[in-house]
Amino acid sequence: MPSNDLTSKKEVARLLAEAGIHASKRLGQNFLVDPTSLAAIVDEAKRARPRVIVEIGAGLGTVTRELAGIADSVIAVELDRRLAAILERTVGQMENVEIRQQDFLSFSFAEEFAGDKTFVVGNIPYRITAPILKHLVAQREHISSALLLTQREVAAKIADSPGRDGTSLGVLIQAYADVKSLRSVSRRSFFPAPDVDSTLWSMSFLDRPRFTADENDFFSVVRAVYGVRRKMIRGALRDLFPVDDVQGLLRSIGVDPTLRGEVLDFTQLDAIAQLLKDHH
């Protein structure tokens, strides 16, 4: 049986070796071994006063066990069957923990929480960060907020969206949620240590999005302006509007056609998207 300290590198190494597991970079299997960062995650989760928590990638149960102490129930989602077996030993005896061996991208919040909202916690693997974040946004009606550990660069780009250092993914998230960076987490906080540092951040879903245009139109504009970075808006939008009309249309809503697309704020992006409904 495991020791009480799942933040011990020695204990983590023992558990993995015992199960014949070589941590997978592809699956982002880097296990938290920093008690300070663990305490920070738990403190932030406590502030949300969650009744139900869904954990993305429960791993060895290090975070799961602590979350079980602050919520009525925890659903621990883990893709790797071998890790799910370890979870049965580390947290399986806890009455309010349910282990789900499945791909998080197939987890339906709508089916699980039809009339309720839940809280999400997760250490997100770099290679599938975007799909996971998009899944959370798609299921937002059943999620109050999420507390996430991601690669520092990803968190920074999301925080800077929309903006010069932002991304279309960041605009997607900021369109539907308040985002807050909470804490830097060194690569040394994980075993095995990844190649990059991480950031703990939260996203709390809004009652209504930051735009009023049709959703498809809005994100068509976002993809267009972020898909050709450093290009003037009049050029970036030529696939969406008649070439001869672009400059006049932009000027009609008070947007300088020579601006770079990534400097537009939500109000400006929304105004451009509003124009699209007359040009389908």
What ranges do the domains of the chain cover? 9-205, 215-276
Per-residue pLDDT, 27: 64
Mean pLDDT of 225-254: 89
Asked whether 206 and 177 are in contact (CB, 8 A), the reply is yes
Class of domain 9-205: alpha beta
**pLDDT tens digits, one per residue of 106-130:** 999 999 998 889 999 999 988 899 9
Per-residue pLDDT, 23: 77
Q: Do domains 9-205 and 215-276 have the same CATH topology?
A: no
Q: Which residues pair with 180 in a beta bridge?
A: 202
Contacts of 83 (CB under 8 A, 6+ apart): 19, 21, 29, 58, 59, 60
CATH of the domain spanning 215-276: 1.10.8.100
Is it the case that residue 3 has pLDDT exceeding 50? no
Q: For all residues of the chain together, what is the average pLDDT?
A: 93
**pLDDT tens digits, one per residue of 173-216:** 999 999 999 999 999 999 999 999 999 999 999 999 999 999 99
**pLDDT tens digits, one per residue of 27-83:** 668 999 999 999 999 999 999 999 999 999 999 999 999 999 999 999 999 999 999
Gyration radius of the chain over CA positions: 21
Is it the case that residue 1 has pLDDT exceeding 60? no
Is it the case that residue 223 has pLDDT exceeding 80? yes
